[in-house]
Amino acid sequence: MSLFRTKSVEQSIADTDEPEFRLKKSLSALDLTVFGVGVVIGAGIFTLTGRAAHDVAGPAVVISFIVAAIACGLAAMCYAEFASTVPVSGSAYTFSYASLGELFAWIIGWDLILEMFLGASVVAQGWSAYLSAFLQQLGVALPAAISSGGVVDVPAILLVLLLGGLMTVGIKESLRVNLVLVAVKLFIVLFVIIAGIMFISPANYNPFVPPSAPTESTSGLTQPLLQFLSGLEPATFGVGGILAGAALVFFAYIGFDVVATTAEETKNPQRDLPIGIIASLVICTILYCAVALVVTGMVPYDQLNPKAALAEAFAFHGQTWMATIIAAGAVAGLTTVVLTLLIGATRIIFAMSRDRLLPGALAKVHPRFRTPWVISIIVTVIVAIVAGLTPVGILEEMVNIGTLSAFVLVSVGVVVLRRQRPDLKRGFRVPFSPVLPIVSAAICAYLMLNLSVETWLRFLVWLALGFAIYFAYSRRHARVGMQDFMPRVVSPPKD
């Protein structure tokens, strides 16, 4: 009953062939790339760029995006190696089970459930807010009590229920809708970039790196944990501002890891998963940098609106009609984010239920659709209730800390599995291992320290609840610990 017992890669792969757990393999590298772009590019491209430029980095926010992309790219390569080695649903949970052991696997699975449940709920509420803004620009006003910020956020509930139903019907059908919405989103983003070029003034890039300046520090539970531990006073702009901007915009890239949750539904996972993970990150980096260049060239960085920089940049030049275009892009963009997070959450719980760390009855696969329909319904209902009835936006940082903790363990896990199982076939290998994976883990750990004290306290409470469930139920029911759960022995063919 060791806390660090591992589940072999061979056993994990063998589980995918069991009839009651078999998912439909239908995804290609293009599907996975669209999937990744769909979840990474959300409202952040319309808002986060201006916030980072206005508050901490100035026009050098472009460099911040590049630094963040490099840091995120290290974690992406670790995910790509694991996904091509262990092509099984569950993403970081499954990877940790194969390398670091059951306790770490449980912790990361528990964190990912938090990340994707809260993430889907927060983004659904954001979608509702953008929908209200879009309808208002068209002259349609929803009743305040049943719209964004009202007593019941009906649009958010309806969105989750609709996408949950689509997800239950099939992964391929879900990604067809995702493909259309991502195409709309990319068209609008590219249109905004091209239109914005006409309003760029080179003078707005001077100075490109504003001089460093002290800033008001927060205190108490809202201050970053690093500041609480070290007593260092924060500064903005200059080189420090670029790094602070990188820590801020890093979260605009979060989501590519959801691609790895679809491993079992990929036709050629050893080849297609690394392509999908890395290609989606490259595409998003190019788009983020282009938007950053345009918005800081259109308006002096100190005059940007941190809450709606892109829309306000066009209003600054008298192009208010562009706000409608941007709102439409945000509605389409956030729809794809909610869909991919719902799919990711179901695949994480599916993998944990199949391993009996959660009740095995949850892992039923629909005989016709070949999707985990029981889990899909449960996830849809919970996310709809949370999105529609609670002010979950105050817990946004919990999404970030859950994701970063997964990045840390995956990065460490690559090093461990390389040492434990050098014989495994790897469709992709992180170069310069173990140096790059260790650097990836260190960067992600540093970013975790930049989250607030109250976020860490909430995270510790969530972990404590997870430990209670693990020791009360999961540890005793895990399939890895069952005597009858033995590696399959293939009998020689009979003459």
Type of residue found at 165: G
Which is it for the CA torsion 427, 428, 432, 438, positive or negative?
negative
CB 437 within 8 A of CB 109: no
Q: Which fold has domain 9-480?
A: Amino acid/polyamine transporter I (1.20.1740)
Question: Does position 484 have pLDDT exceeding 60, yes or no?
Answer: no
Instruction: Tell me how far the alpha carbon of residue 453 is from its chain's centroid.
Output: 22
CB 459 within 8 A of CB 398: yes
- Cα distance between residue 244 and residue 435, in whole Å: 24
- Cα distance between residue 385 and residue 394, in whole Å: 16
Closest alpha carbon to 11 in 98, 89, 90, 103: 98
Mean pLDDT lowest among 64-68, 239-243, 253-257, 454-458 = 253-257
Report helix angle 435-449 to 61-85, nearest 10. Answer: 120
Main-chain dihedrals φ then ψ at residue 52, nearest 5 degrees: -65, -40
- pLDDT average, residue stretch 407-413: 91
Domain boundaries along the sequence of the chain = 9-480
- Cα distance between residue 178 and residue 165, in whole Å: 14
The owner of tokens 């929803």 is 142
Q: Any idea how long the chain is?
A: 495
CB 242 within 8 A of CB 19: no
Quick: pLDDT tens for 151-160: 899 999 999 9
Higher pLDDT, 323 or 289: 289
CB 75 within 8 A of CB 444: yes
| pLDDT score at 439 | 95
Q: DSSP secondary-structure letter at 215?
A: -
Asked if residue 207 has a cis previous peptide bond (ω within 30° of 0), the answer is yes
Quick: pLDDT tens for 170-214: 777 777 888 888 888 888 889 889 999 999 999 999 999 999 887
Return mean pLDDT, the chain. 85
Type of residue found at 404: L
Mean pLDDT lowest among 74-78, 108-112, 491-495 = 491-495
Contacts 24+ apart (CB under 8 A), 230-237: 236/55, 236/56, 236/57, 236/212, 237/56, 237/57, 237/58, 237/209, 237/210, 237/211, 237/212, 237/213
| pLDDT score at 13 | 84
| pLDDT score at 374 | 92
pTM, entire model = 0.83
Asked if residue 372 has a cis previous peptide bond (ω within 30° of 0), the answer is no
Quick: pLDDT tens for 57-96: 999 999 999 998 988 899 999 999 988 888 887 788 888 8
| pLDDT score at 287 | 92
Cβ neighbours of 327 (radius 10 Å): 24
| pLDDT score at 468 | 95
Cβ neighbours of 197 (radius 10 Å): 13
- Cα distance between residue 392 and residue 395, in whole Å: 6
pLDDT band at 163, cuts 50/70/90? very high
- pLDDT average, residue stretch 305-323: 81
- Bridge partners (DSSP) of residue 266 are 27
Quick: pLDDT tens for 296-310: 999 999 998 877 788
- Cα distance between residue 32 and residue 182, in whole Å: 12
| pLDDT score at 365 | 86
- Bridge partners (DSSP) of residue 452 are 224
What would you report as the CA-atom Rg of the chain, rounded to the nearest whole angstrom?
23
Cβ neighbours of 462 (radius 10 Å): 18
| pLDDT score at 171 | 73
